[in-house]
Amino acid sequence: MEDVLITTEGRIGRIRLNRPKAIHALTHPMCDAIIAALDAWVEEPAVEAILIDHAEGRGFCAGGDIRMIADSGAKDGVDARAFFRAEYTMNHRLFTYAKPIVAFMDGVTMGGGVGLSQPAKFRVATQNTKLAMPETGIGLFPDVGGGWYLSRLPGRIGQYLALTGARIDGGECLALGLVTHFVAAEALEGVKQRIAQDPQAIEAILDEASTPAPEARILEQRDAIDRLFASDRLEDIYAALREDGGEWAMQTLATLDTKSPQTMKVSLKLLLDGRTMPTFEDEMRQEFAVASHVVQRHDFIEGVRAVIIDKDNAPRWQPATPEEVTGHLIDQIFAPLPADDEWNPA
């Protein structure tokens, strides 16, 4: 069974993720196959648009091949860096693609799945959509363009999502601009068939198929998020939550206490830099440097052990507190790579 199904149907190129047992988590060969398809279709006049979805199962894409990345990070990191290089090349190719792309984010859409869908011109959520960037819980950070996308969300919602890894539904995604349309899951097959026959009418087809989305519950906390996550210093956010003392603030504080202090600080800097990053290419180059450093650090290997391998959910972070994560350590993680090693959109 192929992990990604590449076909043409009618006047579209179709990319279907096909690793249902892993909720379609991306592997290096899958990224390579998607890049090759995009490169072939961009020169093919008969292909007028690209459609990205998943073949079966309960989610669109749960992320990347975390076990492989952690195994590599615990050794020399070569395979992990090769995966990130391919994944970020795919992300950039999608972001700069000359033809319209439609991503159907039906079900779990996390990490690498966010990176796969957010570059698309049309992004469709359903009642099954559950989007999150949960990387700080395993000592990683919201990559695949997270510094770009999250920093452009309203107020401080991006910082809140990056630090807590909170899951949001299709209605919340629509309200925040992370998707362009909300369509009932039962209607998707018909929508995809219509798009294949008339790609020039994608927007009209999606507009017609759209149904009212549920209320965006995250907006009920918008004022609290903007106030309590106002600072780009993690220590200030902790202090604001403690000082507030309300039920929501205390629950949020308890959530942050389970995350890696190191990668929470990485995430805040990533979003701070991402907001003014000149191009998406620059964003990918910085994220690759950060990923290359983080993947071989203790917190990532320990986070994967605690959450994915042993499942004891008791990671022992080093450093253990926000105060112990020094500015010097963050500078080391964000240090540019040598010219020969840095990411470029080849």
Give catalytic residues, as residue numbers.
Answer: 64, 112, 135, 143
- 8 Å CB contact between 42 and 98: yes
CA distance 66 to 287: 17
Query: With left for phi above 0 and alpha for psi between -120 and 50, is residue 246 left, alpha or beta?
Result: beta
CA distance 8 to 25: 22
SS3 131: strand
- 8 Å CB contact between 158 and 183: no
In the chain, what is the greatest distance between 2 CA atoms, to the nearest angstrom?
60
SS3 45: coil
Residue 197 CA: distances (Å) to CA of 15, 153, 203: 16, 34, 14
CA distance 263 to 256: 11
